[in-house]
Amino acid sequence: MQNSAAEFIGQVLCDRYQIEKQLGQKTGRRTFLAIDLQTELPVVIKLLIFNNEFIWDDLKLFEREAETLKHLDLPAIPRYLDYFEFDLPKLKGFALVQTYIDAPSLEEVVSSGRRFTESDLQEFATSVLDILDYLHSLQPPVIHRDLKPSNILLANRSGNSIGEVYLVDFGSVQNVAAKDGGTMTVVGTYGYMPMEQFGGKTVPASDLYSLGATLIYTISGTHPADLPQDDGKIQLPVNNLSKGWRRWLETITEVSLKKRFPDVSTAKLALARLDESDSIVREKPYGSKIVLNKQADAIEIFIPDRRFPIQWRVAFIVSLFILPIQFTLTVLFGFYIFISIPLTILSPQLLAFALVIYNFIYYFFGKLHLKITKNRISFHKRIGIFQFGRQTPTSPYLNIDRLVYRLKSQLQGEKKALFTTTKEIVIHAGVREYRIHSNSEAECEWLLAELSEYLDLPVNR
């Protein structure tokens, strides 16, 4: 039978921990505030009780929580103190003891009527991302799997600061082994758990979704499960958010893992650049020669390509390679082609000259032409109306899964004294990559913002 809370009050476990009051309850588990009789300090004690609610999977999760907390060392996470089995006349089970944090939960704070400014939200999100960064950076990564308002505590608010942020309740935690890439245990809270978690798979980006859902609750005061959804995607209920914040929340709560921020670093970088992205999207940089045509069903970009399509060494090697062949033919066939000797001698030079002319024409008039519609993505080199092959084969639009910005630094020159940086935008469509180059960082940032908005993908840097 299920035990009432009154049966626990006043009990002393392990001749040391005296239970004072109940803090929370889940199926098969109870959480209490207790006093450590040796230190006279308050502690949190979680009990897994052998009763009619007990199942063996709960014991595995309980033991995993204890083992995980034992190896965590972060002020924003409760500290492991003790773990033992207890056996009382009417109570049997296991107990986990951890430090007590005297602070209200985010759910209690929001329920009391407090609302958060965008500055508060940014400070709060950054604090939680720092905690997740610590957990996900462990080997193997530790995934919380139940991040929600009731499991986040806020303490010591002062002035313009939201105060200290704590993440508690690691009862659903999972250590994800690198060889697995996921788990097969369905845990979490409806409204705060992403779609892949319903399927039994959890990855680090799953915690990011839960953070986004928690922020939506913080803004609206309504649990995400009670908000309207479109194909499983939470619809933001308020319109007074800045464009940057709205896009960040939409990205972090994407149903598809391909469209969601892939990791904490990407989410933090995008969060730090909210204001920048807003200003970049508004207009293209002054003096830019790039032409961008954007419509509801297509985006088309023409970029002057200030690079030589054929390396000069190639033209030279072609000349040296073809010249001996022509002379050999002349020797073999003698008089019959004697009259063609002048042309034979000149043909390699003419070919090399043609390559040189092509190089210069493309350098001054050539453009990269990127076109993305709702059906496909295509990428070509063009001179005027003429198209010169496909730089990368055409791909279906649905294959586009990543947008990357790369800065490649390298030393050039004989003495390696010249330091250059190559700026490159890469659109990934499965195994295919569509690359855009520009010498201007402002142009790249502008194009990234436009492409990110059209493709509905975050920028990986």
Do 210 and 229 fall into the same domain?
Answer: yes
| Encoded amino acid at 91, one letter | L
Cα 297-302-305 angle, rounded to 5 deg: 150
> Is residue 52 a part of any domain in this protein?
yes
Q: Examine the domain organization and report whether 94 and 119 are in the same domain.
A: no
Domains in the chain, number? 2
Report pLDDT for 223: 94
At residue 366, the pLDDT reads 78
143 in the same domain as 267: yes
Q: Which of 221, 246, 278 is the last residue of a domain?
A: 278
* Of 454, 409, 408, 389, residue with least CA distance to 427: 454
- 58 close to 28: Cβ distance less than 8 angstroms: yes
- Residue 149, domain member (yes or no): yes
Domain for residue 322, yes or no? no
What are the structure tokens assigned to 124, written together? 């709060």
Please state, in angstroms and rounded to a whole number, the distance separating the CA atoms of residues 203 and 194: 10
Domain boundary among 261, 278, 295: 278
CATH of the domain at 160: 1.10.510.10
- Return the SS3 of 249: helix
In a domain, 146, yes or no: yes
Residue 146: the pLDDT is 93
Question: What is the number of helices (H) and of strands (E) in the chain?
Answer: 11, 21
* Pair (23, 139) in one structural domain: no
Catalytic residue, from 36, 130, 146, 263: name it. Answer: 146
The answer to pTM > 0.85 is: no
Residue 193 is predicted with a pLDDT of 92
Q: Quick one: 123 and 220 in the same domain?
A: yes
Model pLDDT, residue 252: 94
| 133 & 82 share domain | no
Sequence-ordered alpha helix ranges (H) in 310-440: 312-333, 341-365
Same domain, 123 and 213: yes
Question: Which segments in the chain show pLDDT lower than 70?
Answer: 1-3, 53, 176-186, 238-239, 275-283, 306-360, 362-363, 388-391, 408-421
Is 64 contained in some domain? Answer: yes
269 and 184 in a common domain: yes
136 & 185 share domain: yes
Residues 192 and 49 in one domain: no
The helix/strand/coil state of 179 is coil
For the stretch 65-92, pLDDT in tens is 999 999 999 999 999 999 999 988 777 8
> Could you tell me if residue 123 is inside a domain?
yes
**Is the bond preceding residue 396 a cis peptide, omega within 30 degrees?**
no
Residue 35 belongs to a domain with what CATH number?
3.30.200.20
Domain endpoint, select from 278, 309, 331? 278
DSSP 355: H
**Domain, as residue range, for 45:** 5-99
Do the domain assignments include residue 196? yes
- To the query of whether residue 146 is one of the catalytic residues in this protein, the response is yes
| 57 and 183 in a common domain | no
